[in-house]
Amino acid sequence: MTAERSDVTIAAINSKSPQIDPSAFIAPGCRIVGDVTIGPDVSIWYNCVIRADVNRVVIGARTNIQDGTVVHCDSPKPNHPDGFPTIIGEDVLIGHMAMVHGCILENRAFVGLGAIIMDGCRVESDGMLAAGAMLTAGKQIEARQLWVGRPAKYLRDLDDAAIAANQTGVQHYVLNGRTHREALGLGD
């Protein structure tokens, strides 16, 4: 199965087809392949790749994945028989050109511009990986922590104002996704 829109690829692989909520905004240039589930009011911005060919990718409600980001997963291996699916919770912000691979981003996690998050990592609720940072395999950012650098290290805890700003960003992207859908003639 391939999508009818010529500006987007939505394709099955290994008998698994993407499941996309009708309220999601999928921008032109996106490639969404395999065992992908995309929830309500999600926005997947221009030229993103979401490839679930060797495991699954789940994206929760109101999450936004910004332009040029790549989301993938990792296949089962002898030391990890389940592999590493990519599970992205609700209200997650993922910045432009991020690389998200085989990890778990809990509700309200934040991954900054150009950041890399690798297999077996977890970002707990309200945790943040800063722009340009690289979270190496198996690391965990605890709730409300900010990690920076390559490799990423703990910097400080986030205050209530930073958490509120992130949630304002989530609301902005839900509305902005609707605006782009309408402007591009992709609405209901």
What is the tens place of the pLDDT at every residue in 25-42?
999 999 999 999 999 999
pTM metric for this prediction: 0.95
Kindly state whether residue 1 falls inside one of the protein's structural domains.
Answer: no
- Look at residue 1 and tell me whether its pLDDT is greater than 50: no
pLDDT at 4: 62
Kindly state whether residue 4 falls inside one of the protein's structural domains.
Answer: no
The three-point CA angle 86-151-135 to 5° equals: 15
pLDDT at 2: 45
Please count the structural domains in the chain: 1
Of residues 144, 176, 137, 140, the one with CA closest to residue 159: 144
Q: What is the mean pLDDT of the chain?
A: 95
DSSP output for the chain: -B-S-TT-EEE-BTTB--EE-TT-EE-TT-EEEEEEEE-TT-EE-TT-EEEEEEEEEEE-TT-EE-TT-EEE-B--BTTBTT-B-EEE-TT-EE-TT-EEES-EE-TT-EE-TT-EE-TT-EE-TT-EEPTT-EE-TT-EEPTTEEEETTTTEEEEE--HHHHHHHHHHHHHHHHHHHHHHHHTT---
Kindly state whether residue 136 falls inside one of the protein's structural domains.
Answer: yes
Kindly state whether residue 2 falls inside one of the protein's structural domains.
Answer: no
Domain range for 61 is 9-183
Kindly state whether residue 20 falls inside one of the protein's structural domains.
Answer: yes
Kindly state whether residue 158 falls inside one of the protein's structural domains.
Answer: yes
Residue 187's pLDDT band (boundaries 50, 70, 90)? low
CATH code where residue 119 lies: 2.160.10.10
